[in-house]
Amino acid sequence: MGQLVDGVWHDAWYDTTKSGGAFQRSTAKFRNWITADGSTEFQAESGRYHLYVSLACPWAHRTLIFRQLKDLTAHISVDAVHPDMLSDGWTFESDWAGATGDRLFGLPLARDIYLRADPKISGRVTVPILWDKHRETIVSNESSEIIRMFNSAFDRLTGNNMDFCPQELHKAIEPINQRIYDTLNNGVYRCGFATSQAAYDAAVGPLFDTLDWLEQRLSRKRYVMGERLTEVDWRLFPTLIRFDSVYHLHFKCNRKRIMDYPNLWAYTRELYQYESIAETVNMDHIVRHYHYSHDTINPNRIIPINPDLDWYAPHGRGD
C-alpha cells in the first residue's frame, strides 16, 4: 500500500525500521460528521452520499454491514475496488466479479478520489471512503465513525430505529471496542506485518488472549454485550469471518482457528446468517486480496486452497 505525499503518489510499504519491526497503522485524515438535523455541513439526505469500499477489507466491511442493517442501500450508493492492491494501491479496474469500477466519476484509482478532495493531500489511500456528492469532498475515511453515522443519522429518512450503540451501553461498549480493536481487529495486522520476532511475539500473545476471553464470554452471553446485538458484534464479525481463510495462515495467527473455539465459531455463523449479512461477505475478494497483494509476505502470489467452511450450518445460539 503506497501513499500520497503532497499530492504525489509513492509506492512505499509501511516502514517498520523505526518501530523495532512493529506495524503501526496511520490515522484517518477525514473526520467529518453527518447529522440528522443539519448541525454540521453534512446533513443526512437520500442520494447525497457515495461509499467506496473494498469487499476484501474488514474496515470497509463494517460500513457495508451497517448500510444493510439500517436500510440505507436505497439511499447511499456504493462502488467496490478491485481485490488486487499492487503498485498503484486500490484501483477501479472492473475485470473481477464484484469490482464495480468508479461509477461516480469514472476515475481509474482510489487515490484519485482523495486528490479530488484535496490535491495536496499526504497520507495512505485507504477504504472505506464516504463521499459527499453535494460538497464534492470526502466526509470520512474512518470506518468506526462512519458506522456510528449510519447507525443513527438517517433514521428519520429510513424509519429504521434499530440502535446498535444505545446510550445506556456507551460506557460499557467503548473499552471492549478498544480491546478488540487493539489486539484482534488490528492485532492480526500487527502479527502479519511484523518484521521482527519480538514485534510478532508482542502482538500474537494478546491476540489469542482476546480470542480466549471472547470464547469464555460467549459461553455465558449470546452476544458480546449480552442478549442484545450491538456495534461490538458487527465490528468483531469482519475479523472473525476472515480469520480461518486468511489470518490463520497468511498472517501467522495459527495457534488456533476460529472453528476450534466452539462458542466463537457458532457465534460467527449466527452473525453470518443474520438477515442480509451474507450479502456483504465476498470470500473470493477476501482470499484473492490478501494472498495476492502482500508481496512482502507471499512474493510468489500463490493462493492456498483454504478450508471448506459451512457458514450455513445450524449455530444453536437461540432463535
Catalogue the active-site residues.
57, 189
Side chain identity, residue 197:
Q
Query: What DSSP character marks residue 53?
Result: E
Q: Is 189 helix (H, G, I), strand (E, B) or coil?
A: helix
φ/ψ (deg, to 5) at 78:
-145, 145
Closest CA to 53 of 133, 129, 141, 136: 129
Characterize the bridge pairing of strands 77-80 and 123-124.
unpaired
Closest CA to 191 of 63, 21, 12, 51: 21
E-strand ranges in 74-154 read 77-80, 123-124, 129-132, 137-140
Write down the residue that cell numbers 495536496 correspond to: 120
- Measured CA to CA, the distance from residue 70 to residue 155 in angstroms comes to 8
